[in-house]
Each structure stands twice: as structure tokens, then as C-alpha cells.
Amino acid sequence: GDGIAALRQAAPRSLHLVLIDPPFGQHGLFEPALQAAARAVATDGFIYLEAPQAFGDEALAASGLRAHRRLKAGAVHAHLLCLLSD
């Protein structure tokens, strides 16, 4: 199914964990997925994002998010994100 559409249909602040791991060749999916996840995640929830590149503070802030933790394993940049207001 369409994960971004499912996130957009979720009630605001209703999810405590959102996992985002789009295909690495689909760079256009990251921002829409982050924006939808930021709307759906609970104020005490987390978003886990895997991507081929690191997402900086400015890019995350544009979606209302901040990095709680980051790591790199091989070609994968992993981000544990939370809402800016936390």
C-alpha cells in the first residue's frame, strides 16, 4: 500500500512510532513521508528514518522535527526523530 497516504489518513498525534524506510532510489519520498509522519506522531512519539544521506537540522525543522539520535552503518544513515516541541 501507500505508506504516505496511510500516514496522512492517521489521526493527528495518534501514532507513537513511525518507521520510514523508502527505497533508496526514491529520493522524492523522504520529505512527504517526514511531513506526514510529523503530523501523525504523538507528542511523546518517535519517527525512525533510514536514508542514504544524513538529514540535517534545517531539513528536519522544515517538517517540525528534530534529531533525538543519529547513526551511520555502512551506506545507511539512521535517524531517531521527535517533534521540535519536545
Rounded to 5 degrees, φ, ψ at 3 are: -65, -35
The answer to whether the CB of 80 falls within 8 A of the CB of 69 is: yes
Q: What is the pLDDT of residues 22-59, one digit of tens each?
A: 886 777 899 999 999 999 999 999 999 999 999 999 99
Burial class (CB in 10 A: 0-12, 13-18, 19+), 44: exposed
In the chain the first and final C-alpha atoms are separated, in Å, by 31
| Radius of gyration from C-alpha coordinates of the chain | 12
- CA distance linking residue 65 with residue 39, whole number of Å: 10
Q: Please give the model's pTM, rounded to 2 decimal places.
A: 0.93
